[in-house]
Structure 1
Amino acid sequence: MPFSPEKPNPVPPLKKTQTPSSWSDLWLNNKKSLNNVVFAMKLHSLSKPKPQPDKTLFFDRSMLLSDPISLLSDQLLLQILSKLPQSQTKSNFLVSKRWFNLQGRLVRSLKLLDWNFLVSGRLFLRFPNLIHVDLVHGCVVSPENSGILLTRNLVSLHIDSNVSPNGFVPENYMLSIDEVDSGLKSLAGGYPNLRKLMVINASEIGLLSVAEECPTLQELELHRCNDQVLHGIAAFQNLQILKLIGFVDGFYGSLVSDIGLTILAQGCKRLVKLELSGCEGSYDGIKAIGQCCQMLEELTLTNHRMDGGWLSALSYCENLKTLKFQSCKRIDCSPGLDEHLGSCRTLEHLHLEKCQLRDKQSVRALFLICGAVKEIVFQNCWGLDNDVFSIACICRRVKFLSLEGCAMLTTQGLESVILSWKEFQRLRVVSCNNVKDSEVTPALSTLFSVLKELKWGPDTKSLLLSSLAGTGMGKKGGKFFKKK
């Protein structure tokens, strides 16, 4: 082919037997083949699952530096928060919105102060796992900006100068029965696992709604309770602890009589602890409780209004172990003859706090019934002088005695009783100003030396503790000597 300087000569085609200069030239010259290979590689990469990085080994370093807690799951963080002390609960709420919500799931007990928080449903969203709920303060509507605070042992609220003619808190200071019952129905629907409930001014209808929805309820406290309300108690099949507040001087007056106590006895046969505060009744009501509630182990009477002769019915409580009297103006105004009193053979603990003990006949009847008791506690009781305390000699199995705030009792009266107890082991004397160090006799000192436990602080001027130091008194049996 002749050469032309104006027009370049074309490149002659390759022969079949001629090999290409390189594979790259072949790929570049054959674009269709290249596209097919690239498409096949893409399909292979899409069909093959991508390896996931190990989350335990790989993490975002910036996230770790800014908020390492955010890497924890809710379940793990809940376990950590549940181990923290109760004192840090309030501060945990303030860390973040996430902690705020998680901490609400850990709350199990709540005292409601705003009734609207319940009826609006916000209570269930904020605290979904409650098992103990106190509605008493939420049911009380106190006047705003009131500077008068009325306080009684069980109730405290702000009031204005308007007081009802009967001397009690006006009705408009409390939610109506219908409002309380409606709130109880909502509460029962939101917390089917409720274990403890405290409420005021409820009716038997409201209690029945709780009993139907909360089969695991074990503890119930009813304020402003009456006989009619107790009809709803029978539906609580697993109730073990019950506290009834009928009459509270200066606040409200409601009647719990033998009728209510009999209804209670027949409906709550699995009761273990019972407290009757401001309740009326007589021998028949207490007898019904003793006969029906055979599992009852602890009975507390606060400011009771029982008729004379009720004390002898305690002998029907065959498994009673603890008997408490609190703020009682009298024990029994007419206990009857000694041979009719009976006894509580299983009783171990007798506690009297802020009680009037001037009536020797009722105190004697009490000690006769409690003859098998092993522990006796007197705390701030009026009228407990040497003569009244000497009746305690009837209880011959006492091992522990606690005296606090008994100003009329002297060292001689104390000695005459505790020396008669052959099984006596532990003594606690606090704030009894007429018990003097200087009046401690050798016989009483000898008794101190063999006691397993001795706490001696009758007054602020007592020097007996320092004089006993190093003598070994109060340490027999490998126990300890307590100092005030």
Structure 2
Amino acid sequence: MRGRDWINLILPDELILEIFDHFDSKSSRDACSLVCKRWCCLERISRDTIRIGASGSPDELVRVLSKKFVNVKNLFVDERLAMPLPVDVGRRRATTQSLVRLHLVSEMSGSQDNEIEAYCLSDAGLASIGDGFPKIEKLSLIWCSNATSAGLKSMAEKCKFLKSLDLQGCYVGDQGLGAVGECCKKLEDLNLRFCEGLTDTGLVELAIGCKSTLKSIGVAACAKITDISLEAVGSHCKCLESMSLDSEFINNKGVLAVAKGCLQLKVLKLQCINVTDEALQAVGLFCLSLELLSLYSFQRFTDKSLYAIGKGCKKLKNLTLSDCYFLSDKGLEAVAAGCTELSHLEVNGCHNIGTFGLETIGRACKQLSELALLYCQKIGNFALSEVGKGCKYLQALHLVDCSSIGDDAICSIARGCRLLKKLHIRRCYLVGNRGIIAVGENCNFLTDLSLRFCDRVGDSALVAIGQGCSLHHLNVSGCHQIGDAGIIAIARGCPKLSYLDISVLQNLGNMAMAELGEGCPLLKDIVLSHCRQITDVGLEYLVKRCALLETCHMVYCPGITEAGVATVVSTCDKMKKILVEKWKVSHRTRRRAGSIISYLCVDL
């Protein structure tokens, strides 16, 4: 009945809370909290996650939020956001909402540095987290540089249920980390990236305190953390499943200790220039449950390591080899022979790996679903022919600067891997229309296509794609042979397109813009920089029909003027970012939408 509140009269609190739990987005929850006071209170009770960016008074903000949202279990504080300081902040009183923190302070004077410190989360804020969020399970403190061991200790003493702690960029010391190990007996995940104040003492204490629960640890750019810490982890943390190390100070001794002591290890990511074959052979010998292995910038180990991995790690599913100069086809062959469950493979800048190594992967690893070949000059067409024949479940292929791969390889992939959903090719100059046409004719599940700077690809390729695939994402930046006909075919054949990059297409004009407006109503992001033939007329056709547009990049488009930019601003209600030359933005447009406009060219 009109005027009667049937929902609040009939539905109990429990049922409304159950409805709130099914909302996926924060905006939906916020909208419900505005309906009435009852819904506002219930929504606050049900919310379990809060994210805080740069703010003017984070300590006070945390204190206020802790009173309103009493059941929070996940708290994320990220102070990397760069925001301008309010004008005359020292002369007038500013509210909590108006004060914001500027992260990039290198150009400011010392007195300003002192003012900035007031806008960073401090030990008082950490104490408020402990007092206000005792049920917290996941805490992320990203680049909270004012937090110290004292604050971390006060938080740890009260947050007994903490399971995940991210201290990236925090200058906390050993006492704080030791307190976490002593008090937070349920801790499972720990991230210590760029924690320069830590030494072995703190990490050893944590490893002893959380020995029965710690499952994941990440260490990067911590100069004072050495093999001593890893030996403690290997000795005490028998449940460890994931480790990520990026350090110049870790040697074989530490990795050996982890390999021998943490037999349940499933994920290992290493960027340690002093680790050699000895350590990785131990990984292959002891870590039989390993599923993911990533090796970055290794210049002191050889195929012996991959022999051991292939022989012992039969469950390996994900392998990344980046800038490992001494690996060859023989090492990849050993992995293919032993790790037949491999589903993800990335080879990046390993210049001694060629066609034969990848052939063996194609023949042996039938479950391969994603393959990335970056800067692999020695891998030729026949390698991908074998992948096409053997890897029927391949869904994603990434090729970057592979100068020996051409249309024959892409045709083999298209005919053999019909489940392909993502194809990204960049600067592979032998790939042309024939290969992409084969993709359009055979890969009907393709939704994400990127052909950056593949200058042999033209309109006929996109016509085949438009007829055979329903793309959501398309990037043809730098494919100068593509013109109106190709983009029109995409507009007519891909109504679900949401992202489009057509930058540096010199032959593209207003007709394509009009067709995109008619055929792609779901378009959210478009990049049309360096398109000399597109004018205000085509831009107007596009924006008036694509009501969901959120970002538009249009620098170095001489046909787009001040009037065109104003049209975009006045038409697109959902626009979040416009990238354009500064001189094309009128004072009126700047007043109306200055917060969403970014400038590539600035006054010198």
1:305 corresponds to which letter in structure 2? E
1:69 corresponds to which letter in structure 2? I
Distance 1:240 1:133 in 2: 16
With CA pairs under 8 Å and 6+ residues apart, which has the higher RCO, 1 or 2?
A: 1
Cα distance change, pair 368–278 in 1 and its aligned pair in 2 (3 A): farther
Aligned 8 A contact 2:123 2:150 in 1: yes
- Of 265, 276, 283, the match for 2:207: 265
- Of 338, 341, 361, the match for 1:397: 338
Structure 1 residue 132: deviation in Å?
A: 0.9
For residues 32-111 of structure 1, the aligned pairs below 5 Å read: 61-64=1-4, 67-71=5-9, 72-86=11-25, 88-111=28-51
Distance 1:108 1:96 in 2: 20
Distance 1:368 1:175 in 2: 53
Structure 1 residue 230: deviation in Å?
A: 1.9
For residues 117-156 of structure 1, the aligned pairs below 5 Å read: 118-119=59-60, 121-137=63-79, 144=85
Distance 1:205 1:156 in 2: 25
Distance 2:287 2:176 in 1: 33
Aligned 8 A contact 1:433 1:458 in 2: no
Cα distance change, pair 68–464 in 1 and its aligned pair in 2 (3 A): farther
Alignment length (residue pairs): 387
For residues 404-443 of structure 1, the aligned pairs below 5 Å read: 404=346, 406=348, 412-415=355-358, 417-418=360-361, 425-430=367-372, 432=374, 434=376, 439-440=381-382
Q: Secondary structure at the match of 2:348?
A: coil
Aligned 8 A contact 2:303 2:327 in 1: no
Structure 1 residue 449: deviation in Å?
A: 3.3
Distance 1:430 1:341 in 2: 24
Distance 1:304 1:221 in 2: 18
Distance 2:415 2:317 in 1: 28
CA root-mean-square deviation: 4.3
Q: Which residue of 1 aligns with 2:157?
A: 212
1:159 corresponds to which letter in structure 2? V
Q: Does 1:298 align with 2:242?
A: yes
Aligned 8 A contact 1:454 1:481 in 2: no
1:206 corresponds to which letter in structure 2? G
Q: Secondary structure at the match of 2:139?
A: strand
Gaps of 5+ in 1: 1-60, 147-154, 248-253
Q: Which residue of 1 aligns with 2:230?
A: 286
Gaps of 5+ in 2: 88-100, 401-405, 421-442, 449-604
Distance 1:193 1:435 in 2: 53
Structure 1 residue 436: deviation in Å?
A: 9.2
Cα distance change, pair 190–300 in 1 and its aligned pair in 2 (3 A): same
Q: Percent identity?
A: 21
Distance 2:373 2:262 in 1: 34
Distance 1:90 1:338 in 2: 50
Q: Which residue of 1 aligns with 2:288?
A: 346
Q: Which residue of 1 aligns with 2:178?
A: 231
Aligned 8 A contact 1:431 1:459 in 2: yes
Structure 1 residue 268: deviation in Å?
A: 1.4
Cα distance change, pair 405–205 in 1 and its aligned pair in 2 (3 A): same
Q: Which residue of 1 aligns with 2:126?
A: 184
Distance 1:141 1:434 in 2: 37
1:354-377 Cα shifts (integer Å, max 9, x gaps): x324x1427855874685331233
Aligned 8 A contact 2:306 2:331 in 1: no
Larger Rg over CA atoms = 1
Is 93-102 or 284-293 further displaced after alignment?
93-102
Structure 1 residue 99: deviation in Å?
A: 3.5
Distance 1:378 1:337 in 2: 17
- Of 188, 193, 197, the match for 1:245: 193
Q: Which residue of 2 aligns with 1:202?
A: 147
Structure 1 residue 405: deviation in Å?
A: 7.2
Q: Which residue of 2 aligns with 1:161?
A: 107
Distance 1:299 1:283 in 2: 14
